Amino acid sequence: MVLQRFVEAGRIAYIQEGQYRGKLVSIVDVIDANRCLIDGPESNVPRCQINLKSLHLTKFKISIPYTGSTKVIRKAWINSRVEEKWRSSLWGQKVENKNKRRNMNDFARFKVGKAKQIYNKLRTNAFTTLKNNLKS
C-alpha cells in the first residue's frame, strides 16, 4: 500500500497534543523535517509553528498558494467544506462521540449503563432461546 498522506501545504491535520488539542488545522509551510507552520482559520488556531509529532494528517487537502495568508486559507477552507467532510468522516464521528462521553454528567452515565443492562438482558434471552431450540 502506497503512502498517500504527505506533509504538504494545504494538508488538513488534526492536532493530537498540546495547547490546541482536538482542533483541525491546515499546513501552510514545512519549516524542516520536524516542524511545520500551521493555521486554523475556522478552529481559532492562530498561525504558529508546531512539531509534526503533535499532528495527525487527514485525507483532506485544500488548494492554497505557498505561504498563503489566513484570509486565503479561510476562503479555501470554506469553499472545500472541510468541516462538513470532517464531521461526516468516521474519524470525525469517533472524536465527536469521545467528546460526548467525556462531557457526560452522572445522570447521563447512569442512563447509558441502564440501557446497556437492558440490551444485554435482551441479547442473553435471545441467545438462550436459540440455544434451547437447538437442544430440542
Give me the pLDDT at residue 52, please.
96
List Cα–Cα distances, 95 to 33, 36, 39, 99, 124, in angstroms: 28, 24, 20, 6, 31
* Distant-in-sequence, close-in-space partners of 40: CB < 8 Å, separation ≥ 6: 20, 23, 24, 25, 26, 46
What average pLDDT values come out for the chain (136 residues) when binned by 10 residues? 88 96 95 95 94 96 91 95 96 95 95 97 97 88
pTM for this one?
Answer: 0.80
Nearest by Cα to 24 from 13, 11, 35: 13
Q: Assess contact for 76 and 70: CB atoms under 8 A.
A: no
Give me the pLDDT at residue 136, please.
74
* DSSP state letter for 30: E
Stated as kind and residue range, the H or E segment containing 39 is strand 35-40
Sheet hosting strand 45-51, strand order edge to edge: 45-51, 35-40, 24-30, 11-15, 55-61
Give me the pLDDT at residue 121, please.
98
Measure the CA–CA gap between 1 and 8, rounded to whole angstroms.
Answer: 20
Give me the pLDDT at residue 135, please.
83
Give me the pLDDT at residue 67, please.
82
Q: Assess contact for 70 and 41: CB atoms under 8 A.
A: yes
